[in-house]
Chain A
């Protein structure tokens, strides 16, 4: 009788401990999975939500995720990453006399900034936007964009 009661008490303690452990694990999961990210800038082409290149300002590292998908007849492969000049070149959708134009993006690890330094489009809006450390840079007719992942929030208006 006494032993059964002891067993029951042990079971209750065990269940309680498991409760605490699982609850703690769940809280940790929520905390770690959804905390704000470190400062990154992702470069996208077209309507895809998969970045082609990621600039990691903290690790000072460029990650090339995949090649830009381009139609047949374009021999060069994009993006072109020049780590010496700190530029990333993609091929935009805007054409002049049937020739697609390049978009050159420069980055600065120290300033954690990105700038479109060369592009062709009717009003050159995106290259005139200047340097950004948080504001997305959108090259509309070229369908290329740079979006930041920072601790400054989900969006900027």
Chain B
């Protein structure tokens, strides 16, 4: 019996020791892609495996950063044919592009159709007009009131630019991929899609590699999570920033295996007559909308969510509600909306949302 007891104790010890063994955690940070700070936490068996993950992840972000960059040419040894910077401005010219950029642009077109035109990557010139004012380094309009004369000038400049119904044409011939811009007012800007699109590719890559526990934050508005190793529930606790009291939060969601994306007006904006003017521009009005302070979208495709949160942000309430109801019938999409009147509306299915007293 003494031998038996010893054996039982040894088994118990082994079980206890094994249950306490923690896979090694790794954290990788990138400053150089998508004009944002990207941070990835993951668990791996060993350093070699983790380094391989890091290298593959960085390659994905680097690729889509290069291809979707619309303010700098391709780097000398990029190996790619064109990027948005080299495409923009070449009107009616048929330009050969890489398959990856072709697929990204095709996805943008699909989402434009899905959102009835509320997501439109061709309005870069309008976005630039607003950004130039909001980020003005001389007069410092950010978070401050724009003078009436400046506001009038914005409207005047916007008046001169058309929103083009078919801004570009994509074609595929003999395994080669082409784009043609159709109008001089078209400037492609993938800022509301490429980051999420690349993040989803990273997410899919890690899942394919069998990584169960990881999180990806791409900027302050976009998060993709698998399972949380550090909690028994495997859930991540994600706070929702209060857009009218930027140092606080208005609620918490509990999630795993999802992407989350927020579009909001609370980080970079200027004021005019008390309303916030930000750089999420409605293709319908050429103006920033004032229906909501933030729109947070939860789902399974970070690229789609990136674009959808942008599109939903510009939709009037009735259109938003009906669009979302129809979309929710066929997808797992969920939304939490912080309205302009500071009320909160949620369209949830499985996600637990705890709203705080404010």
Contacts and interface: CB of A to CB of B under 8 A. Distances in A.
Interface of A: 7-8, 11, 14-15, 18-19, 22, 25-26, 29-30, 34, 44, 46-49, 113, 122-125, 128-136, 138, 140, 143, 145, 152-157
B296 A157 contact: yes
Interface of B: 1, 4-5, 8-9, 12-13, 16, 19-20, 27-31, 35-37, 135, 137, 142-143, 215, 217, 220-223, 228, 230-232, 236-241, 246-249, 252, 260-262, 267-268, 296
Contacts of B27: 49
B30 A47 contact: yes
Nearest to B25: A49
Given A49-B29, A133-B247, A157 B241 contact: yes
A153 B20 contact: no
Nearest to A132: B247
Contacts, number: 110
B238 A153 contact: yes
B231 A157 contact: no
A47 B230 contact: no
A134 B247 contact: yes
A156 B249 contact: yes
A142 to B, nearest CB: 9
A46 B5 CA distance: 54
B238 A156 contact: yes
Given A154-B228, A156-B238, A8 B246 contact: no
B1 A153 contact: no
7 contacts: A29-B20, A124-B137, A134-B249, A136-B220, A143-B31, A154-B215, A155-B215
Contacts of A47: 28-31
Contacts of B239: 134, 152-153, 155-157
B221 to A, nearest CB: 6
A157 B30 contact: no
A26 B16 CA distance: 7
Given A134-B247, A156-B240, A14 B137 contact: no
A34 B213 CA distance: 15
B267 A129 contact: yes
Contacts of B143: 128, 130
Given A30-B232, A145-B37, A135 B241 contact: yes
Nearest to B31: A143
A8 B2 CA distance: 10
A17 B236 CA distance: 35
A132 B248 CA distance: 8
Contacts of A14: 5
A46 B29 CA distance: 8
Contacts of A34: 230-232
Contacts of A46: 29, 31
Contact of A157 (B13, B28, B223, B232): B223
Contacts of A19: 12
Given A136-B220, A145-B37, A156-B238, 17 more contacts: A30-B232, A34-B230, A34-B231, A44-B29, A122-B137, A125-B135, A132-B247, A136-B37, A138-B220, A143-B31, A153-B236, A153-B237, A154-B215, A155-B239, A156-B240, A157-B221, A157-B222
A23 B249 CA distance: 37
Contacts of A138: 37, 220
A135 B221 contact: no
Nearest to B8: A15
Contacts of A153: 236-239, 249, 252
A26 B20 contact: yes
**Which of B137, B222, B232, B246: most chain A Cβ within 10 A?**
B246
Contact of A123 (B30, B135, B248, B296): B135
B20 A8 contact: no
Contact of A15 (B5, B16, B237, B296): B5
A157 B247 contact: no
A109 to B, nearest CB: 15
A153 B252 CA distance: 8
Contact of A156 (B36, B228, B241): B241
Contacts of A49: 27-29
Contacts of B16: 22, 25-26
B5 A11 contact: yes
Contacts of B1: 7-8, 11
A133 B237 contact: no
B142 A157 contact: no
A122 B228 CA distance: 37
A113 B29 CA distance: 23
A22 B35 CA distance: 50
B223 A155 contact: yes
Given A157-B222, A157-B261, A152 B249 contact: yes
